[in-house]
Amino acid sequence: MSEKSGSIEALLQSSIGFLRQYPPFDEMDEANLRFLASHLSLAYYASGSAILAHADGLPNCLFIVQRGTVQLHPSEGFHVSNANVLALGPGSCFSVYALMERRAVSSPYTAVEDTFCYRLPAEIFNELLHRSQRFQEFSTHYLRSLLRDSRRLIQMHSASAAAEQQAMNRSLRSLIKVSPIFCTADTTLETVLRTMHQSRVGSMLVVDANHAPVGIFTRSDVLDRVTLAQRPLTDAISAVMTPNPASLPADASVYEATLAIAARGIRHLPIVDDGRLVGIITERDLFALQRVSVRGINRVITQAQDAAALEQAGRDVRKLASTLFAQGVVAEQLTHLITTLNDALSQRAVTLVQNEHDLNGIRWCWLSFGSEGRLEQTVSTDQDNGIVFEYEPQLQLDEVRARLLSFAKAVNDLLDRCGFPLCTGDIMASNPRWCLTFDEWQAQFRDWVSNTDPEALLGSVIFFDFRALAGDETLGVQLRDALNNLAKANPRFLRQLVQYALETKPPLGLIRDFVTEEDGDAAGFIDLKKSAARLFVDAARIMALATGSTATNTAQRLRMSGASLKISDADTASAIEAFYFVQQLRLRSQLSTEAESTRTLANRIDPETLNEIDRRILKESLRQARKLQSRLALDYQL
C-alpha cells in the first residue's frame, strides 16, 4: 500500500454508503456514483442559518441533505402559512431546477436544525447529467417526487401522528381490534342488553346461520324501541333490531366507511369478509382525532329545523374539510366528501323550503350543474342549479312556473346563507331560464347541440355535468338519456366543444413561468379555476361525450374514456394527478382564507407566494393540461 491523496476509498465509501439509501442514487451505476462521490464536499449549517437565497444568484452547486432539515420558504415578503413551507430531510436534493435552468433559486433555503449538506459543484452536476441516464431522469422528472413531497408536507403539518397520515387509505380490516359481539335473531332482549352492558359495547349485531349480518341493535335504540315502547325483555331481538344494516367488506378503505357513515347518518358499520361478519367499525374508530365528525355534521344537516341550524352546518362542513385536509386526505377524496355533505345540505335546504311552499300537482327535480354535478366541489363554490318539472294538465304553465320560481328563490337564498354564494352568471333555479319543463329542457339542449353560436355553446357546457339532487330524480335520469341521444346524433357538436375548450390556453409563459392576469384587482394572479382546473374539466367532458360515458366526474371521465381513446394509463394518471394538484392548491387557498369577504378571491393565487416546489408542480400540471389540449386538437384536426 502506498500514499494516496484526493478521493480516497474511505471517504468515497462513506459518501456512497449514504447516497445509496436514497433515490436516484440507489439506482445509479457504481462508476457514476463514484464519479459523483469523488467531487463532493460536506458543509455544516447551524440551525437557523441561511443556505441558499435568491440574492446568491446562480447556485454553484447541488445540495444533498446528509443530516438535519432544510426548509424552503415562499419568496420573502409574503405571508408564510405552515402549509406553504416545505421541509427537506436526509437524501433530499435541492437547487436542481435552478441548476438545470441556470438561474437563481426563487425561494430561500434555511437550515431549521443543525444540518450537514453534501455539495456537488455545478459543472460536475452538468457532467453527471450527460453521464448518467438515471440521474438525468431524476432531474427532469424531479416533479413526480416533488408531488410526493408536497403531499407529505401537507400531512406533516397535520395535528395527527405519522401513523394517521395514511389513515384514509387504510383498509377497514386494519382497524378491527376485537372480535365483534353478535347474537342470533331469536336471542331475548334481556340476554342482549346484559351482554351489551357486560361487554361495554354500544351495539349488538344479529347474524344468521352463515354469520351474515341481518340486523343491528344499538344503545340509542333502547330508549324508544324498548323502554318507551314497554317491550317485555323476553321478546326476541329480531322484533326491535334495525334489519339489513349497511355493511362494507373488510378490504374497503376507511375513506369508504367515512362516506357510508356520512351518507347514511349511522354510527356503527358492520364489516364483512365473504359475507361473514368479521368486525364492527364505529364512528369513533374512524374519527378518534377529529373534533367535528362527518356523521355529526350530517345529523345536524338532516335534522336542521331552520335556516340558522343549516348555516351552522355549512360552517362545520368547512371546518371538517380543513381538518381532513390537514390530515392529508387527498383532493380527490376530499372534494368527493365535501360534495356528499353539500348534497345533504342542499337536499335539506330544499326540504325545509318545500314545506313552506305549495307545489301540489307538480313533479319536479332539483338539478345541480357544474362542480357539484361533477362531485368536485371545493369549499367556496357558488351555486349552479336548476329545476326540471312536469305538471298536471289542469294547471297553467305560467302559474306553475311562478310557484316553482318563488320556491327556488327561497332555496337559493337559503343556500347563499349556508355558504354557497349566489351564482354571478345567474345559473340558478330561481332564474326562469333554468326552471324549465322536461320538454323545454330538451328543446334547450337540442338548441345547444345543433346551434353553431359560440355564445350558446359557452353557456351550455356546465349543464352537461348535471346531476339530480332532490325531488323526483327519475326526471333527471330521463333528461340525461335524452341528452346523450342528442349528442350522439350531432357529431359536429363535439368538434365545436373542442374548439371552445381550446380557446383557453394554459397560463404558461415563454419567458416567465406563468402568465398572470393583467388588469384590474386580479392583476398578478392566476385564476386556478378559470385558467387551470377548467382546462382539465373541459377536456374530460369532451372525452366522455365522445365515448358515450355517463360519468360526470372529471377523474372518472378521464379514466373511463382515456382507455377507449387509446391514451396510455401513465398519461391518464399524470393528467389526473395534475388536475388534483390544481384542486389541492384551490383547497389550500380556500381553507387558508378565513374571512368571508375574501372568499370570492379564493380561486386566485399569486404564483410568487408559492414555494418553489409547488411552483414547479403547478407549471408541470399546466403542461399536462396543454398535453390534453394538444391531443384533442390532433383528434379533431383543429
What is the C-alpha to C-alpha distance for residues 484 and 12, in angstroms, rounded to an integer? Answer: 66
DSSP 8-state class, residue 609: G
Q: How far is the CB of 115 from another protein (least distance, A)?
A: 10
Q: How far is the CB of 181 from another protein (least distance, A)?
A: 49
Q: Closer to another protein by CB, 16 or 610: give it.
A: 16
The whole-angstrom distance between residue 200's C-alpha and the CA centroid of its chain comes to 37
Q: Closer to another protein by CB, 14 or 140: give it.
A: 14
Q: Closer to another protein by CB, 44 or 208: give it.
A: 44
Q: Closer to another protein by CB, 113 or 164: give it.
A: 113
Type of residue numbered 500 = Y
Q: How far is the CB of 35 from another protein (least distance, A)?
A: 11
Residues near another protein (CB under 8 A) are 1-15, 17-18, 37-46, 49, 67, 114, 116, 118-119
Q: Where are the alpha helices (DSSP H) in 188-330?
A: 189-199, 219-221, 254-264, 283-286, 294-303, 307-326
What is the C-alpha to C-alpha distance for residues 507 and 515, in angstroms, rounded to an integer? Answer: 5
CB 28, CB 135: distance < 8 Å: yes
Cis bond before residue 213 (omega within 30° of 0): no
Q: How far is the CB of 86 from another protein (least distance, A)?
A: 22
Q: How far is the CB of 606 from another protein (least distance, A)?
A: 36
Q: Closer to another protein by CB, 124 or 313: give it.
A: 124
DSSP string, 141-183: THHHHHHHHHHHHHHHTSSS-GGGTTGGGSBGGGG--SPPPEE
What is the C-alpha to C-alpha distance for residues 145 and 542, in angstroms, rounded to an integer? Answer: 30
Q: Closer to another protein by CB, 41 or 564: give it.
A: 41
Q: How far is the CB of 11 from another protein (least distance, A)?
A: 5
Q: Closer to another protein by CB, 91 or 202: give it.
A: 91
What is the C-alpha to C-alpha distance for residues 612 and 59, in angstroms, rounded to an integer? Answer: 15
What would the grid cell of residue 381 be?
A: 363554490
CB 69, CB 574: distance < 8 Å: no
What would the grid cell of residue 131 be?
A: 453521464
Q: How far is the CB of 131 from another protein (least distance, A)?
A: 17
Task: Please calculate the CA angle 342-259-330 and round it to the nearest 5 degrees.
Answer: 85
Q: Closer to another protein by CB, 131 or 170: give it.
A: 131
Strands 182-184 and 203-207: parallel
SS3 of residue 348 by DSSP: helix
Please state the φ and ψ torsions of residue 46, each to the nearest 5 degrees: -65, 155
Q: How far is the CB of 97 from another protein (least distance, A)?
A: 23
Q: How far is the CB of 64 from another protein (least distance, A)?
A: 12
Q: Closer to another protein by CB, 15 or 378: give it.
A: 15
